[in-house]
Amino acid sequence: MTNLSGKFDELTNKLTRLLELFEISAKALADKDMDFEKGNNAAAIVNNYDWMKSFSFLRFLREIGKHLTINYMMAKDSVQKRLETGLSFTEFSYQLVQGYDFLHLYENYNCKLQMGGSDQWGNIVTGTELIRRKNGGEAYALTCPLITKSDGGKFGKTEKGNVWLDPARTSPYAFYQFWINVSDEDARKFIRIFTLMSKDDIEALESEHDTAPHQRLLQKELAKELTIRVHSNEDYETALEASQILFGKGTTETLHKLSEEMLLSVFEGVPQCQVDRDKLSQSIHVVDFLAVTTPIFPSKGEARRMIIDGGVSINKEKVKEDIHVDDSMLLNNRYILVQKGKKNYFLIVVT
């Protein structure tokens, strides 16, 4: 029993530390648009684990559950829609948990308005009802329609292909690429929702876009505005340069400027192979490197012919038949990028 108790305490401490790190990360992101130092008007980030961790199940039922009837909870649209397909007790009771969060914020932070997506309406008004029944107070709910893409999918942490504000979850390059690749239909909608551009400027940009849709002017402006606001102008410039690499406009200098994280983001999905670092320290003739050390070419003859025809680049520089490959060519001290023809890339990982 002592061992189990010790392990439980250890896990609890780890979880608490993870939550603390999450709060630090969330504050770092919010700091760009919120002021946390303005006294009574300062923004605050709180963690509901702080007030729920010591709340026993029986105490929760006694103090909170008694204020709302089953009929009230069953009447929620979110509950009604799930009755036929099945609704777990956890999902059913979650409105009580979220409702209590609102009650706690009302009592301790004088919070009177909760905002969220339209799918949260039922949970939020459960909070306003708790506040009315338990404290006789007034609180308010404000929801907006969920933002959906042209394919009907919504933005959300559980969606495939989602996008995060935290650069540790979605790199600035991947963030930029997400917006640059949206459809024309979505670009028209998103540029109105996510940017601060005026109506006249948006309509002028749309007219310009319509004259040459292939230039994707709407998407470029959308990606620029959001990447700069969420990350920085420097991140935008780097993402812009990096995006040119796959279209043949990047340079060796651009490659060497990329961080390891961004380099891997740019070439995600590109075939990779590993090479022992000791081999590169000796230097390898380029033909041997391409056809023996790595499987990029099936034979030395084919590698030699394509080099002579100017069809092979290493780190975005055309190679000649007489060069050798060595560890001075490494990107981030670990990678070599080989381009075969116009579109075939290979990333060599040196271990």
- The per-residue pLDDT for range 251-307, each reduced to its tens digit, is 777 788 888 888 888 888 888 888 888 888 788 898 888 888 888 889 989 988 998
pLDDT at 105: 95
- The tokens describing 256, both together, are 């060497």
Taking residues 101-122, report their average pLDDT: 92
Residue 297 · residue 291 · CB < 8 Å: yes
Q: Between 325 and 220, whose confidence is greater?
A: 220
Given the structure tokens 């702080």, which residue do they identify? 50
What is the reported pLDDT for 223? 95
pLDDT tens, position by position, 161-185? 678 888 888 888 889 989 999 999 9
Q: Which two tokens stand for residue 83?
A: 């009755």
pLDDT band at 71 (very low <50, low <70, confident <90, very high): confident
Report the pLDDT value the prediction gives residue 328, as an integer from 0 to 100. 86
Domains of the chain: 2-144 (3.40.50.620), 172-249 (1.10.240.10), 272-350 (3.10.290.10)
Residue owning tokens 């708790």? 130
pLDDT of 124 above 90: yes
**pLDDT at 85 (0 to 100):** 82
